[in-house]
């Protein structure tokens, strides 16, 4: 099991290219199962989750071939209908094959998902979406089994107790593409990744309207085809590198960024004192003074993303004042808090919020990553800390960031990977 060693206190400077959005790429790769054809998808991030999805598709009989950050996919011929536990347990997004397999084969058997240890993330809304289209759904021995002789359009509300579900919105949208009539998804997730998947499906011939709003309308079609498509940039990766500039009092230019997608992140960065300059190709993030406190509450898009909460907690731990960060979207989303406390942060957790009293400095320590974004938060803290930080269980960060240590090295960081 690998670990990171970080010698902190280095000011980061330079340029970094933001990779493609993992949370778009995964469902788009899964959605190729809808069609018997060939695809070329570009700007794929080479992260561990993508490798897992490749294995899932290959297990189902799909030909997948990578060339750099592009992938060629051939879904012609027979495909299987079962995604096994051995693969799905590694990554929650494996369940994205559920909707495409139901649409293409009329049946699917997918293991209940795994992924990050950030509390209960039920699949009830996915099941609700499939049932609304006329599918029979059962959970048997840890597998979701769905089947339908034919699918029919319907009207379904997919908003849960904690807001819209990105996964359920995408899965239902994919399953409904060939359904007879019109499907209307109310309470749909508005995230840019949902829009990206919809744009890909429309390139394949789907009839979708309203993506990016709370109401998506899908009119069933008879024919879909393969296509060439380019994934949007990863807004969470952009936010993570922006926080890296802020927490190290650095100056980083982020290229390949869609600024409109990260407006809530940029707003909070400005409140902490970051200087932001935008141009057509990206944006420059610079921090010259003290880190100022601010309060954050996560919310579904276009609100502040839960996937950036941990990184901002690290940043605000070094602020000149008191901040409150609230995150009620997922349970156990603050597993990075005790690790940051080991580094000298003054954090006090109460239920779904953390009170942060800024300290002058953090100290390097041995810490352990618990999930993908917590890993990023610990790396950021280590980059800013005095002394040496050792982060174990970094396989979590490999799930979502491509060669992150090499890219930080290019900005002047002293970070390296050790094999254990």
The catalytic residue positions are 116
Percent composition of the chain: helix, strand, coil (DSSP 3-state, to 5) = 35, 30, 40
Which run of H or E residues covers position 85?
helix 85-88
Interatomic CA distance for residues 362 and 376, integer angstroms? 16
349-371 in b/e burial notation, b at 16+ Cβ within 10 A? eeebbbebebbeebbbbebbbbb
- Contact (CB, 8 A) for 6 and 71: no
Q: What DSSP state is assigned to residue 291?
A: P
The label of the residue with tokens 């690998």 reads 2
Interatomic CA distance for residues 82 and 60, integer angstroms? 7
- Residue 108's closest CA among 80, 75, 131, 133? 80
Beta strands in 148-214 (DSSP E): 155-157, 159-160, 163-164, 182-186, 207-209
Torsion of CA 187, 190, 196, 202, to 10 degrees: 40
- Residue 118's closest CA among 384, 366, 339, 332? 332
- Residue 192's closest CA among 261, 93, 255? 261
The label of the residue with tokens 């290959």 reads 58
Q: What DSSP state is assigned to residue 232?
A: P
Give phi and psi for 94, each to the nearest 5: -60, -25
């Amino acid at each position: 099991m690998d670990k990171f060693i970080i010698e902190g206190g280095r000011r980061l400077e330079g340029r970094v290219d933001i990779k493609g959005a993992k949370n778009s790429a995964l469902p788009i790769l899964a959605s190729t199962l809808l069609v018997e054809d060939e695809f070329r998808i570009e700007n794929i991030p080479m992260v561990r989750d993508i490798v897992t999805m490749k294995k899932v598709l290959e297990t189902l009989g799909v030909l997948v071939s990578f060339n750099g950050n592009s992938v060629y996919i051939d879904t012609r011929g027979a495909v299987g209908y079962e995604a096994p536990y051995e693969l799905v347990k590694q990554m929650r997004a494996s369940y994205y094959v559920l909707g495409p397999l139901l649409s293409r084969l009329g049946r699917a058997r997918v293991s209940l998902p795994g992924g990050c240890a950030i509390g209960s993330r039920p699949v009830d809304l996915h099941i609700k979406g499939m049932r609304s289209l006329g599918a029979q759904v059962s959970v048997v021995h840890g597998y979701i089994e769905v089947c339908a002789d034919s699918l029919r359009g319907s009207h379904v509300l997919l908003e849960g107790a904690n807001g819209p579900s990105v996964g359920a919105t995408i899965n239902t949208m994919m399953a409904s593409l060939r359904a007879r009539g019109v499907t209307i998804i109310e309470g749909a997730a508005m995230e840019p990744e949902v829009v990206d998947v919809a744009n890909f499906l429309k390139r394949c011939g789907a009839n979708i309207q309203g993506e990016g709003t709370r109401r998506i309308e899908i009119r069933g079609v008879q024919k879909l085809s393969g296509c060439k498509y380019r994934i949007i940039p990863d807004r969470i990766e952009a936010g993570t590198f922006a926080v890296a500039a802020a927490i190290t009092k650095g100056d980083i230019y982020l290229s390949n960024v869609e600024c409109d997608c990260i407006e809530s992140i940029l707003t909070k960065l400005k409140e902490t004192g970051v200087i932001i300059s935008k141009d057509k190709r990206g944006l420059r993030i610079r921090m010259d003074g003290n880190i100022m406190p601010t309060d954050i509450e996560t919310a579904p898009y276009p609100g502040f993303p839960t996937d950036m909460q941990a990184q901002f907690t690290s940043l605000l731990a070094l602020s000149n004042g008191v901040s409150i960060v609230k995150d009620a979207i997922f349970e156990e989303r603050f597993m990075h808090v005790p690790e940051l406390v080991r580094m000298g942060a003054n954090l006090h957790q109460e239920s779904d919020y953390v009170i942060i009293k800024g300290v002058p400095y953090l100290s390097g320590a041995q810490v352990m990553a618990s999930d993908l974004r917590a890993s990023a938060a610990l790396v950021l803290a280590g980059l800013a800390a005095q002394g040496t930080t050792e982060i174990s269980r970094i396989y979590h960060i490999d799930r979502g960031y491509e060669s992150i240590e090499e890219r930080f090295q290019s900005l002047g960081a002293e970070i390296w990977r050790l094999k254990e």
